[in-house]
C-alpha cells in the first residue's frame, strides 16, 4: 500500500516532514523508504517548499482504522494554520492537510502531470482531508527512477549547525548544494520558525546518511532525523530545453529582462539575467524554463551563437575603416581597399555553456547543469 501526506506546514512550527517523521515512528507496520517530492512550483495554494511525502507500507486493510485515528488525533488539528511567509510576498493559504492511502501505486502519469502542471484530485483509495491530498497522491505516484537523497534532522530548541561539520560535509564526495559558492553562506539550514535543523543533500543514500550523522554530532540538539529519497535536482519539472532566436529584448523595472515578449530572466536569477542582458537581436540561445500564464520563467540559459557585424581585417592584420558613405573600406595602415564592408564575427558570451541562477535562488527541482 502507498501512504501520502501533504500540506501540514503551519506558523506554529509545523512542518510536513516532521509530521510525517512522527507518523512513521508511530506506524504499527513495516514501511519502505520515505520519499520527499517537490511538485509544480506554480500550483495554486501550494505550501512554501511545495514538498509532499509518501512511503510504501507493508500491511493490510487493518491499517485504515489505525490511520483514521492517527489522522483525527494528530494531523487534523493542524488544519487552518497559516504557514510562514517571512520572505515571500505571495499570498499564503491556510494549511489544508491531506492524507491518502492506495492499494496500488497511483499511475506514474499523475506524477508527471503534477510536477509540470496544475492537477486536481486523484480518484480512488482512501483519502483524508483537503487540498493536501493532491500533493500526497502525486508523491505516491512518483516512481523514483531518477532520485537524489536528503538527510533531514529536526531541532529540539535552537537551530545551530556547526560550521566545522558543514565544511566536512561539503568536502564529502556526493553531497551537493551545501553552501552558496558566491557568498559562502551555508544552504542546509532553513530560516524562520520551521522545526528543521538542517537538510543535507546527496546523490546517494549512504552519503546522505553519513553527512547527517556528522552534522548531528556537532550541532545543537535534535529530536530525530531521517533520510528521504527525493526528486530534488532531477529536472523533472521541465520537459526539455528549447531554442530561440532573439527577436526582441526589453529591460523591465527592477533589472528583469524579457526576451521575445515571453521569456523572463528575473534580476534574482543572477548569471541567467546577466546573459539575457548581454544578448542582442539575432542571437540564438537554448533555455530551460517553466511556462506560467504565457511566460517562460528562465532557469537555465546557454548561448548557441551570437554574431556581430564588424569591418573586415586587412591582410596586414589591421581592422579596416569606412572611407565614407558608399565608399567601401580601407586599411588605415597599408591603405589596401576592400569592397566587402562587413564581416560577421562571433561574440563570446561572458559565461559559456549552461548558466543557472545562484545556488540559493534555484528551484528545489532544478538539475545542476555544470
Q: Does 314 engage in binding with Zn ion (CB under 5 A)?
A: yes
CA–centroid distance for 358 within its chain? 12
Give the CA angle between residues 210, 212, 216 to the nearest 5°. Answer: 120
Q: Which of 252, 281, 334, 344 binds Zn ion (CB under 5 A)?
A: 334
- Tell me how many residues contact Zn ion (CB under 5 A): 7
Task: Please say which residue, 243 or 333, places its beta carbon nearer to Zn ion.
Answer: 333
Q: Which of 333, 340, 342, 368 binds Zn ion (CB under 5 A)?
A: 333
Q: Which is nearer to Zn ion, 261 or 318 (CB)?
A: 318
Minimum CB separation from Zn ion for residue 324, in Å? 18
Altogether, the residues listed in the chain come to a count of: 370
- The distance of closest approach from Cβ of residue 242 to Zn ion in the complex, given in angstroms and rounded to an integer, is 44
Q: Does 281 bind Zn ion (CB under 5 A)?
A: no
167 binds Zn ion (CB under 5 A): no
259 forms beta bridges with 249, 263
Cα separation, 55 vs 358, in Å, equals: 32
Among 169, 331, 355, 366, binds Zn ion (CB under 5 A): 331
Q: Which is nearer to Zn ion, 192 or 312 (CB)?
A: 312
Per CB under 5 A, 316 contacts Zn ion: yes
Instruction: Decide: is 337 part of the binding site for Zn ion (CB under 5 A).
Output: no
- Comparison of 185 and 319: residue with beta carbon closer to Zn ion: 319
**Contact residues for 114 (Cβ-Cβ < 8 A; gap 6+):** 39, 40, 43, 134, 135, 138, 141
CB of 309 or CB of 334, closer to Zn ion: 334
Cα(17)–Cα(162) distance, rounded to whole angstroms?
22
Stretch that binds Zn ion, among 5-13, 146-154, 175-183, 328-336 (CB under 5 A): 328-336
To Zn ion, the closest distance from the beta carbon of 348 in angstroms equals 25
Which of residues 162 and 338 has its CB atom nearest to Zn ion in the complex?
338
The C-alpha cell at 35 is 520519499
- Smallest distance, Zn ion to C-beta of residue 327, A: 17
Sheet arrangement for strand 329-330: 321-322, 329-330, 337-338
C-alpha cell at 184: 559562502
Contact predicate 137/124, CB 8 Å: no
Strands 295-305 and 337-338: unpaired
To the nearest 10°, the Cα dihedral for 133, 134, 137, 141? Answer: -170
Q: Please, what is the minimum distance in Å from the beta carbon of residue 321 to Zn ion? A: 11
Residues at the site binding Zn ion, with contacts judged by CB under 5 A: 314, 316, 318, 331, 333-334, 336
Amino acid at each position: 500500500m502507498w501512504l501520502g501526506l501533504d500540506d501540514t506546514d503551519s506558523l506554529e512550527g509545523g512542518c510536513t516532514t516532521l509530521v510525517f517523521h512522527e507518523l512513521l515512528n508511530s506506524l504499527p507496520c513495516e514501511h519502505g523508504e520515505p520519499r520527499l517530492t517537490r511538485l509544480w512550483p506554480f500550483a495554486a495554494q501550494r505550501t512554501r517548499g511545495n514538498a509532499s511525502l509518501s512511503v510504501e507500507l507493508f500491511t493490510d486493510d487493518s491499517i485504515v482504522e489505525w490511520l483514521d485515528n492517527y489522522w483525527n488525533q494528530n494531523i487534523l488539528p493542524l488544519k487552518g494554520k497559516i504557514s510562514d511567509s517571512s520572505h515571500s510576498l505571495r499570498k499564503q493559504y491556510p494549511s489544508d492537510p491531506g492524507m491518502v492511502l492506495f492499494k496500488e501505486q497511483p499511475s506514474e502519469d499523475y506524477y508527471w502531470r503534477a510536477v509540470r502542471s496544475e492537477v486536481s484530485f486523484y480518484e480512488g483509495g482512501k483519502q483524508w482531508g483537503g487540498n493536501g491530498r493532491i500533493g500526497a497522491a502525486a508523491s505516491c505516484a512518483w516512481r523514483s527512477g531518477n532520485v537524489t537523497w536528503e538527510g533531514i534532522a529536526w531541532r529540539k530548541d535552537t537551530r545551530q549547525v556547526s560550521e566545522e561539520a558543514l565544511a566536512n560535509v561539503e568536502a564529502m564526495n556526493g553531497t551537493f548544494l551545501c553552501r552558496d559558492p558566491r557568498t559562502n553562506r551555508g544552504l542546509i539550514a532553513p530560516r524562520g520558525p520551521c522545526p528543521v535543523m538542517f537538510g543535507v543533500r546527496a546523490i546517494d543514500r549512504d552519503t546522505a546518511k553519513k553527512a547527517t550523522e556528522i552534522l548531528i554530532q556537532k550541532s545543537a540538539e535534535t529530536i530525530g532525523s531521517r533520510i528521504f529519497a527525493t526528486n530534488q535536482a532531477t529536472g523533472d519539472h521541465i520537459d526539455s530545453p528549447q531554442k530561440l532566436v532573439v527577436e526582441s529584448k526589453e529591460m523591465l523595472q527592477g533589472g528583469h529582462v524579457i526576451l521575445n515578449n515571453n521569456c523572463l530572466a528575473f534580476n534574482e536569477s543572477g548569471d541567467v539575467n546577466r546573459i539575457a542582458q548581454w544578448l542582442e537581436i539575432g542571437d540564438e540561445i537554448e533555455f530551460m524554463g517553466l511556462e506560467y500564464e504565457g511566460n517562460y520563467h528562465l532557469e537555465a540559459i546557454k548561448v548557441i551563437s551570437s554574431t556581430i557585424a564588424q569591418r573586415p581585417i586587412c591582410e596586414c592584420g589591421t581592422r579596416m575603416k569606412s572611407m565614407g558613405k558608399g565608399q567601401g573600406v580601407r586599411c588605415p595602415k597599408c591603405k589596401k581597399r576592400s569592397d566587402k564592408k562587413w564581416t560577421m564575427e562571433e561574440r563570446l558570451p561572458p559565461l559559456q555553456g549552461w548558466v543557472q541562477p545562484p545556488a540559493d535562488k534555484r528551484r528545489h527541482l532544478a538539475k545542476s547543469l555544470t
